[in-house]
Amino acid sequence: MSLLIEANKISIDPGETKPGQIPLEQMSFGEVEFPRFLITQTTFNDKMAKIRALMTKTVSELRQGQARGDAGDDHGTYHSEIVWYAEQQQHQNVRFVSEIGEGLDNAVKIESYDWVRNQMIKSKILPTEKVTLTSKVKIQFGDDPSDTENIMIVAPLDGGTQPGWVSVSAPLAKAIEGKKTNEVATFKINNNTITIKVISLS
């Protein structure tokens, strides 16, 4: 899919959509609108590999259960094993399966966020003085100048897939959305209020 970058908006080139295709869901962050399921090719590949591994494991477990049943276990034992496995998979993978079912099917793959950022800068749609999608931000926690962290604001599917990559949907990202250098924000984690300051951004 080719991206169309114009008027503070990243979208799919209309020429690449199929007749009757439902428009992909858009979201916005820091004055920039973009496809909700924007994802780097690397993350996409990693998630697809996990899907294949999960499917292989599922088939293997079921075959082992069938083999035990053929060896003499009664039907009730075999059935209970399948139910147990299904329940475990449901609890452990509900979030991941949700991404599979919707996010990856509608994925808009990009080479890197640096590429997207450069394209937005060329198109003069990126508010570089404010925290937005693709911003690389150095933040300070509380009043301690030594307690800092470097992060980059990325689309939801890429959040947490690389060190310092923070999803636009995360409380930290939402707190500093649109902030400028030296501005302060707060957010809550487990009823604890966290104060952060934007030290620098690029």
102-136, pLDDT tens digit by residue?
567 777 888 899 988 888 888 777 778 999 999 99
- Same domain for 98 and 56, yes or no, is yes
**What total number of domains does the chain contain?**
2
For residue 22, what pLDDT is reported?
52
pLDDT at res. 85 = 56
> Is 116 within a domain?
no
Predicted model pTM: 0.73
Question: Are residue 173 and residue 142 in the same domain, yes or no?
Answer: yes
Cβ atoms of 196 and 140 within 8 Å: the answer is yes
Same domain, 52 and 95: yes
Q: What pLDDT, on a 0 to 100 scale, did the predictor assign at position 142?
A: 92
195 and 136 part of one domain: yes
Q: Which of 54, 70, 104 is the last residue of a domain?
A: 104
Residue 196 lies in a domain: yes
Q: Has residue 152 been placed in a domain?
A: yes
Length reported for the chain: 202
User: Where is the domain boundary, 73, 104, 135?
Assistant: 104
Which residue matches tokens 């508010």? 127
Range of the domain at 161: 127-201
pLDDT at 107: 79
Q: Are residues 134 and 188 in the same domain?
A: yes
CB 136 within 8 A of CB 199: no
Give residue 123's pLDDT: 76
Hey, how many other C-beta atoms are within 10 angstroms of the C-beta on 167? 19
In a domain, 28, yes or no: no
The pLDDT value given to residue 91: 53
Enumerate residue ranges in the chain where pLDDT < 70.
1-2, 6-8, 12-24, 54-103
